[in-house]
Amino acid sequence: MTAPIRHRPLFVSLVALTLLLGSFAATGRGVATAADTPRRGGVLLAVIGADPPSLDPHQESTFANIELVAPLYSTLLQLDPYDYPKIIGDLATEWKISSDGLTYTFKIHPGVKFHDGSPLTSADVKASYNKIIFPPQGVRSVRQNAYTAVAQVEAPDPATVVFKLKFPSASLLANLASPWNVIFPKSYLDRDPNYFKTHAIGSGPFKFKGYTRGSTFEGERNPAYFVKDRPYLDGYKFYISPETSVRAAAIRSGRAYIEFRDLPSAEVEAIKKQLGDKITVQETAMTGQWGIAINNTKKPFDDVRVRKALSLGIDRYTMARVLYPLTGLRYVGGLMRPGSEWALPAPELEKLPGFGRDIEKNRAEARKLLAEAGYPNGLKVVLKNRNVKLPYQDFAVFLIGEWRKIGIEAEHRPLETAAWFSDGQDTGNFELLVAPTVEFMDDPDQFLGRYATGSTQNWGRFSDPQVDDLFSRQARSLDPVERKRLINDLEKRVLGNAYFTTGLWWSRNLVHWSKVKNYVAPPNHYTNQKLQDVWLSED
Amino acid sequence: MRTYLAKRLLLIVPTLFGVAAVVFLIMRVIPGDVTLLILGGDQTGRIDPQQLAAMRHQLGLDQPLAVQFGTWLWGVLRLDFGTSLWTGQPVIDEVLIRLPLSLEVAILATIVSVLLAIPLGMIAAVRQDTWVDYLIRIVSIGGQAIPSFWVGILVILALVIYFGWGPPLEFTPPWVDPWANFQQLVWPVLTVGYRYAAVTTRMTRSTVLEVLREDYIRTAWAKGLRERVVVIRHALKNAMLPVITLVGTEFAFLIGGLVVTETVFTLNGVGRFVVDAVAHRDYPVVQALVFLIALCFVVVNLLIDLTYAWLDPRIRYH
């Protein structure tokens, strides 16, 4: 009676095992062989951690948008894929800046066509930038404030675009090289300025092929691409998975060849150990830092002594050693990326509260300041955070341990992204909040605008006319030496008063199969995503 | 019976209305604003209050709550669940992309769990307190104690580390490529199936043990019937009522409840979609999905109750 019953699970297992072994044989992958001559063909398989909120890069600011759609579009200028942060043309073949710095004239590459076959002219560039700088009602433009200097955009003839400025802008060229400012066909924008939230028609090296939310995003080679003999790939395909270990496993198994954003060092080491030279890891700095927004409107954080104590209590140098292997948070720095041309020199940085290397001295001063502010026995605070493990929560856990050493007991309160955003940006319902800053390049306007009075990114809600003045002057300063001095002064003012305090600057492990050729990782995951020069040495 | 069926069908209406109202209110009470999320993007955002107001108006979120709820309910009556606030796509289209996968996993995992659980539970009962029983109990307790997503991660890591192979990352429907479909779904189906088999095995064992102690079973033995006939024909059928309840509710749960398993195995299913929609405060999507999942539960419960009557002629509904 019982024999058939006992045997059934064994039979099922044997069938599964046989099919599994068959599936291994069917998908086995060979070792990549290096070749110097670019090879045509193949589909680049990548993994990504999230879906895009929409497909329109003008309206988004997440890697989940730009990594997917950048290969579909052209921009006026771009950052050199091989030489960050050099600015080179994309659609623009040449450009001139008038002597007063108020007129920028660009010539457009002739013969460029959109994927629907229509020609790309200066009218399309003008329409796209008008959408970014002067968005119509009901259309959002998250980078609108980066173009406050622009009075108008003109298209005097089909091959010329002119930007007229109200005042000189030191960052305009950099902002015109933004990967987010893709050029859309005017005819579609005229019909519906939100059309590209759900559609993608560009003039980039790849054409949109398909998107299944939560699953895949695909592009195929654009045979009419205006750059001769590009792209090399037949197409690209992103697999979408929010789970880091799943993305790492996809790379390990060869189901995907590249993760453009970042993988934790522990995963990277495991992948390298298993796959050896089949895998390449490009370690770069990152144009992003994790800091702490201090709500300057709430007691006791309206007291500079308390704010300074918070910064003095953090041993950033030890934090960098501890957190780097876990999170990629690696470099101690001010408001501009350490190592970039605008960064505050280390000797000056170390004079600011919390950045000196003698941590015991810093802690003693922190306790003294707290006592002077009326908290000789320390105080209790709430540190709100985003409920994302890497690097948010590890970062917060370290901070809490540090603050305890100076008598500050911080309660960690991780929030869902929506609530975290709402508290930080909208309501100001927080005392301390983990607040990252990630931009597409080391541009001072992008990094420092958030410290100006009334900026929606000024989550700490402070107002210092001196900071506002320094920001405004640096944005208009066309002399790099003078601009750097103003920027460094602004940094000293913000960090010296601990209106906001930085934690650590991020670094990036770009992991890919060695058969993915000709991809140079820039210090962020927003730029160099067009993939026009990337090729595969084998499928 | 017809009266009973009509009553039950009618009761579905207030049940679903209650679910819809509760979910609608909860989504509005919890902190977080979809317009801020849309305008703010990921890590940066410069939001103009006018833009914010325009976006709220565009999405209909400036309307009074009662009007918003009424509008949504009127849409549901016309089988129009609205459009996603996040993607602008019709909610029903988004659901239909994911439903086949979730249904396939739910059906196959339920089949696996039933195929494992009923024989194992029965054997454990018949061989009570022998090593066979102990082994089955250890396996089933293990299945209940170990989360299936953890088993899933271990399975994937083992496959990747020892065989350099991972399951496909994209769902292929069985009618397009059965082999690719099998390669992707075999592991989640087995891990989830094992988890639910563990629960059902224990239930089957308990109920069969109970039935085996009944007088009519003793009579059957006394009549000299073979073990197979006594256990399968007389004991098992009567022991199945609570097991069917369990299997049915498990099935309904599996359609929308496999969030972590779907994440681990990169399955673009309904469970992940619900969580994603909650995180993005995509109200119409959450309302529609919870509504549909509630509908599944209600229908499955009705079917379970009707199955009772079919299995046990003593049960009659009026």
The answer to whether the pTM exceeds 0.90 is: no
Q: Which residues of A touch B263 (CB under 8 A)?
A: 241-243, 246
CB contact burial A304-337 (16+ within 10 A = b; e otherwise): bbbbbbbbbbbbbeebbeebbebbbbbbbbbbbb
Judge whether B228 and B141 are in contact, CB under 8 Å. Answer: no
Instruction: Phi first, then psi: give them for residue A422, nearest 5 degrees.
Output: -60, -45
Q: Which amino acid is at B21?
A: A
Judge whether B293 and B19 are in contact, CB under 8 Å. Answer: no
Count Cβ atoms below 10 Å from residue A477 Cβ, excluding itself: 19
Contact B128/A at CB under 8 A: no
Strand partners, A162: A105, A154
Q: What is the ipTM of this complex?
A: 0.78
Which of B46, B159, B170 faces A215 most closely, judged by CB atoms?
B170
Beta carbons of A53 and B280 less than 8 Å apart: yes
CB contact burial A345-379 (16+ within 10 A = b; e otherwise): eeeebeebbbbbeebeebbebbbebbeebebeebb
Judge whether B223 and B215 are in contact, CB under 8 Å. Answer: no
Each residue's pLDDT expressed in tens, for chain A with a length of 539 residues = 333 333 333 333 434 444 344 333 333 333 334 447 899 999 999 999 888 878 999 988 788 899 999 999 999 999 999 999 999 999 999 999 999 999 999 999 999 999 999 999 999 999 999 999 998 877 777 788 789 899 999 999 999 999 999 999 999 999 999 999 999 999 999 999 989 988 999 999 999 999 988 889 999 999 999 999 999 999 999 999 888 888 999 999 999 999 998 888 888 999 999 999 999 999 999 999 999 999 999 999 999 999 999 999 999 999 999 999 888 899 999 999 999 999 999 999 999 999 999 999 999 999 999 999 999 999 999 999 988 777 899 999 999 999 999 999 999 999 877 678 778 877 888 999 999 998 999 999 989 999 999 887 899 999 999 999 999 999 999 899 999 999 999 999 999 999 999 999 999 889 999 999 999 999 999 999 999 999 999 98
Question: What is the C-alpha to C-alpha distance for residues B170 and B168, in angstroms, rounded to an integer?
Answer: 6
Which of B89, B179, B266 faces A241 most closely, judged by CB atoms?
B266
Q: Which helix (H) or strand (E) holds A305?
A: helix A304-312
Contact A421/B at CB under 8 A: yes
Residues 168-207 of B with CB under 8 A from A: 168-171, 179, 182-183, 186, 190
Count Cβ atoms below 10 Å from residue A44 Cβ, excluding itself: 27
- Phi-psi domain of A354 (left: phi exceeds 0; alpha: psi -120 through 50; beta: other): left
Contact B263/A at CB under 8 A: yes
Q: In the structure encoding, which two tokens stand for residue A104, read together?
A: 């920028």
CB contact burial B19-29 (16+ within 10 A = b; e otherwise): bbeebbeebee
Residues 233-262 of B with CB under 8 A from A: none
Could you tell me how far CA A351 lies from the centroid of its own chain?
A: 29
Judge whether A513 and A346 are in contact, CB under 8 Å. Answer: no
